[in-house]
A = this chain, B = another copy of it.
Amino acid sequence: MSDAHSLDTLIEALRRLPGVGAKSASRMAFHLLQHDRNGAQVLSRALQDAVLQVHHCSRCNTFTEAELCEVCRDPQRDASKLAVVETPADQAALERTGAFRGYYFVLMGRLSPLDGVGPRDIGLHQLVARATDGHVSEVIVATNFTAEGEATAHVIAEALRSRGLTVTRLARGVPAGSELEYVDLGTIAHALVDRR
């Protein structure tokens, strides 16, 4: 694009963002350098800070800056219920319904054999340890109703049922093929009540 080497490097770096191709990356770099250099510096610092400070909750595996996340630190929740979700965004969607007061385990992904994502990558071992802590009696598998989410739910259910736990799945109120993050609150709330 230019003889500005650091500009080309910036465009290459922006292309590592999901959903950003060559044209978008050039447009982003142009915008930042021409119109929002302060934004570029804010973003640079934010990336550095997040990489240094964000890690995984030792109990539920979501992102946190503390040893335990805010939800896991809350003693008012129902310790007999554990909801398993794919991402923090899915957890946030469940929380917004106000219909679930148990704890969570966040897989931070889903099984995807074609992409080389296996049971170890979604922390299945850690989930089994969490679910067999002696307090949890029901695990509600709230993975997405996509092919990969269903396969993930199946593997989790197998692993937990063999250890004597009750495993339920969000009811089919959630439209097949959709991702929780985009489903309206009422549908999620009904699906939670009708879990089977």
**Chain A contacts to B: CB under 8 angstroms:** 1-7, 9-10, 12-14, 16-19, 23-24, 26-34, 36-37, 39-54, 62-66, 69-70, 87-89, 92, 108-109, 181
Contacts and interface: CB of A to CB of B under 8 A. Distances in A.
A4 B34 contact: no
B66 A6 contact: no
Given A47-B43, A48-B44, A31 B13 contact: no
A42 B16 contact: yes
A7 to B, nearest CB: 5
A3 B47 contact: no
Given A7-B54, A49-B6, A88 B1 contact: yes
Contact of A46 (B1, B9, B30): B9
A48 B70 CA distance: 33
B33 A51 contact: yes
B63 A4 contact: yes
A49 B89 contact: no
22 contacts: A2-B64, A3-B65, A3-B69, A4-B63, A5-B65, A6-B46, A7-B54, A10-B43, A10-B46, A10-B49, A13-B39, A16-B42, A17-B32, A17-B39, A18-B28, A23-B181, A32-B47, A32-B51, A34-B109, A41-B51, A44-B45, A44-B48
